[in-house]
Amino acid sequence: MELTPSELWQRVLETARSGLPEQSFRTWLSGTRATGVSGNQIHVDTPSDFHTEWVEDKFGPGLADVASRLLGRPVDLVFHTAPDSAVPHVPNVELAPSVPDVLPGVRRAPAPGGAFPGSDPRRPSEAGGSGSTPLQTPGAATPPQGVPPRYPGTHPSRGGDPGAGARPDADPRSGAGLNDRYTFDRFVVGTNNQLAAAASHAVAETPARIYNPLFIYGGVGLGKTHLMHAVGHEILNRHPNRRVAYVSAERFMNELVNAIQTGTTGAFRRHYRQIDLLLVDDVHFLVRKESTQEEFFHTFNTLYDAGKQIILTSDRAPKDLPGVEERLVSRFEWGLVVDIKPPDYETRVAILRKKAEDDGVALDDEVIDFIARSCTSSVRELEGAIIKLLAYSSLRREEVTVELAKAALKGMLRSERADGPSGERLTPESIRDIVAQAWGVRPEGLQSRRRTRDLTVPRQVAMYLIKELLDESLVAIGRVFGGRDHSTVIHSIRKVEDDMRQNEGFADRVREVRERLAR
């Protein structure tokens, strides 16, 4: 049967759709389309460079397999970026927190520890950008009248750094209120923030076209502000004349109140409604602030209708902002909603390495491992730990070692470990007892000779974790369990490893206890 390239691609996408979470499909694949077939190559357009790299990398082999099967011969896929021809994609979906899944048969890439690969601006082209994008340069915009300099300005000649007053030739970044440390190359991508980072790159590449607004939510100190600033920097790198403004929702409100009091609401409105990229941080602050919401609603609409990009952050998802008007919540959900989770161990290590490198301090692996295991709640906490450790080391004039780190971070750790094993060093016995507790049996049961299943499973898990966390010898481990010999111990450890491979639920349970112990 003859198929046009686009019919063929439709069939490929239908197959892919059934093997992917809907939101992954809509985010990455629904905006693609096939433009032609030459020899054994199928040419596929995507809406941005970022999509091209991501789709090629994550879905390419799986999609090529499907296409080959449909055609009955091997074919390759060649992806091209074509912002104008690819279907502009305006999803109205909430992205699940997890990493985008892969097609059946495609191996999931290992969790990236470094900067996101899509950050390479291979085509910083104005051609695909400002020529056709609705974002305007200041020259084309209506000149502002009487903009009070206290607003986060955005253009070198008009911006006002709130701290320093208006500076005619100031760096647009400071005028925009951007922190110069919050750039993409300082942002470590891990499984916890992969989608948020991906979406931010895509927005920086093609503002107001793919995800508008971009709504990033998550707990404190997880990198929301950092990411939104990174988009601002990247857009200013590519288009120095764009007007970028960063403002916290709280500051937006204070400025509004001030404008009302001084009769300058006109200037306030003009200011915020002529921005090309508006970054509004911590919009959960708007809960129950009705008149600020009202004003923000109109600002939002004006910018959105003019094709300007808006990025919002919050500590909660839009639907969990009960004191915010429904019409505003629904606008928050128009574009893309992504969350950031606390970093996992690997990401914490990668972040610590990166921070040490960026700040030119030497932290050896052991110290990094210690901090990564001790500080688990946020990136800010990791940063705090490094600062504290360095201060401690310079006060005491001692080298940074694990011992020093333990002493320096003692206070931090105790508070963290309220439900942990009391801040003391882990021992084989404490691991055994905590595993017993997690499995709901008495610790003595694990030392006994009894071999009922309710005891053998936690016993084996405890042996496995003692090996993993403390690397004790098999003989020493056997001793903790009433003097079992080393072959029993090795058998137990292998059994747990096998079971973890085969049973995801069991593996999660073991990992959970492990996380708790390693804190």
Contacts with Mg ion, residue ranges (CB under 5 A) = 224-225
Q: Report yes or no: 75 and 38 within 8 Å, Cβ to Cβ.
A: no
Beta bridge partners of 336: 93, 214
Q: Report yes or no: 22 and 55 within 8 Å, Cβ to Cβ.
A: no
Count other Cβ atoms within 10 Å, centred on residue 480.
Answer: 20
Name the segment binding ligand ADP (CB under 6 A); options: 152-160, 224-232, 392-400, 456-464.
224-232
Does residue 230 bind ligand ADP (CB under 6 A)? no
As a three-state string, the secondary structure of 394-454 is: HHHCCCCCHHHHHHHCHHHHHHHCCCCCCCCCCCHHHHHHHHHHHCCCCHHHHHCCCCCHH
> Residue 459's Cα: distance from chain center in Å?
37
Does residue 351 bind ligand ADP (CB under 6 A)? yes
Minimal CA–CA distance to 244: which of 230, 255, 258? 230
Give the Cα separation of 464 and 441 in Å (integer): 17
From first CA to last CA, the distance across the chain in angstroms is 60
Q: Are strands 41-46 and 33-38 parallel, antiparallel or unpaired?
A: antiparallel
SS3 state at 343: coil
Q: What order of strands is seen across the sheet that includes strand 214-218?
A: 93-94, 336-340, 214-218, 309-314, 277-281, 244-248
Minimum distance between the CB of residue 491 and ligand ADP, rounded to whole angstroms? 41
Does residue 246 bind ligand ADP (CB under 6 A)? no
**Pair of tokens at residue 506:** 């069991």
**Pair of tokens at residue 316:** 């909660």
Minimal CA–CA distance to 46: which of 25, 30, 26? 30
Does residue 363 bind ligand ADP (CB under 6 A)? no
Per CB under 6 A, the list member of 56, 383, 416, 433 interacting with ligand ADP is 383
Name the segment binding ligand ADP (CB under 6 A); options: 64-72, 111-119, 181-189, 494-502.
181-189
Q: How many CA atoms lie within 13 Å of 86's alpha carbon, on the beta-carbon side?
A: 27
Minimum distance between the CB of residue 382 and ligand ADP, rounded to whole angstroms? 7
Name the segment binding ligand ADP (CB under 6 A); options: 17-25, 213-221, 239-247, 450-458.
213-221
Minimum distance between the CB of residue 363 and ligand ADP, rounded to whole angstroms? 15
Per CB under 6 A, the list member of 16, 42, 95, 188 interacting with ligand ADP is 188
Minimum distance between the CB of residue 178 and ligand ADP, rounded to whole angstroms? 12
Minimal CA–CA distance to 77: which of 135, 137, 110, 36? 36
Minimum distance between the CB of residue 250 and Mg ion, rounded to whole angstroms? 11
Minimum distance between the CB of residue 120 and ligand ADP, rounded to whole angstroms? 18
Task: Give the relative orientation of helices 428-438 and 504-518 as an angle to the nearest 10 degrees.
Answer: 130
Minimum distance between the CB of residue 226 and ligand ADP, rounded to whole angstroms? 3
Name the segment binding ligand ADP (CB under 6 A); options: 83-91, 215-223, 323-331, 486-494.
215-223
Q: Report yes or no: 492 and 464 within 8 Å, Cβ to Cβ.
A: yes
Task: Give the relative orientation of helices 290-305 and 265-272 as an angle to the nearest 10 degrees.
Answer: 40
Core vs surface per residue 100-110: b (16+ CB within 10 A) or e = bbbbeebeeee
Per CB under 6 A, the list member of 196, 208, 222, 477 interacting with ligand ADP is 222
Find the binding residues for ligand ADP in span 192-211 (CB under 6 A): 193
Query: What does 493 bind: Mg ion, ligand ADP, none (CB cut-off 5 to 8 Å by kind)?
Result: none
Does residue 348 bind ligand ADP (CB under 6 A)? no
Residue type, 138: P
Residue type, 492: S
Per CB under 6 A, the list member of 379, 446, 489, 493 interacting with ligand ADP is 379
The owner of tokens 């970044």 is 173
Query: What does 154 bind: Mg ion, ligand ADP, none (CB cut-off 5 to 8 Å by kind)?
Result: none
Query: What does 222 bind: ligand ADP, Mg ion, none (CB cut-off 5 to 8 Å by kind)?
Result: ligand ADP
Does residue 248 bind ligand ADP (CB under 6 A)? no
Minimum distance between the CB of residue 170 and ligand ADP, rounded to whole angstroms? 23
Name the segment binding ligand ADP (CB under 6 A); options: 46-54, 180-188, 205-213, 426-434.
180-188
Does residue 187 bind ligand ADP (CB under 6 A)? yes
Does residue 289 bind ligand ADP (CB under 6 A)? no
Q: Report yes or no: 352 and 371 within 8 Å, Cβ to Cβ.
A: yes
| Residue 46, H or E segment | strand 41-46
Per CB under 6 A, the list member of 316, 380, 388, 519 interacting with ligand ADP is 380
Name the segment binding ligand ADP (CB under 6 A); options: 57-65, 184-192, 202-210, 359-367.
184-192
Query: What does 149 bind: Mg ion, ligand ADP, none (CB cut-off 5 to 8 Å by kind)?
Result: none
Query: What does 201 bind: Mg ion, ligand ADP, none (CB cut-off 5 to 8 Å by kind)?
Result: none
How far CA 267 is from CA of 13, 143, 405, in Å, comes to: 49, 12, 52
Does residue 214 bind ligand ADP (CB under 6 A)? no
Q: Closer to ligand ADP at the Cβ: 358 or 398?
A: 358
Beta bridge partners of 381: none
Does residue 256 bind ligand ADP (CB under 6 A)? no
Cβ-proximal residue to ligand ADP, closest one: 223
Query: What does 187 bind: Mg ion, ligand ADP, none (CB cut-off 5 to 8 Å by kind)?
Result: ligand ADP
Does residue 374 bind ligand ADP (CB under 6 A)? no
Beta bridge partners of 281: 248
Minimum distance between the CB of residue 190 and ligand ADP, rounded to whole angstroms? 7
Per CB under 6 A, the list member of 112, 213, 223, 478 interacting with ligand ADP is 223
Chain positions contacting ligand ADP, by CB under 6 A: 182, 186-188, 193, 218, 220-226, 351, 379-380, 383
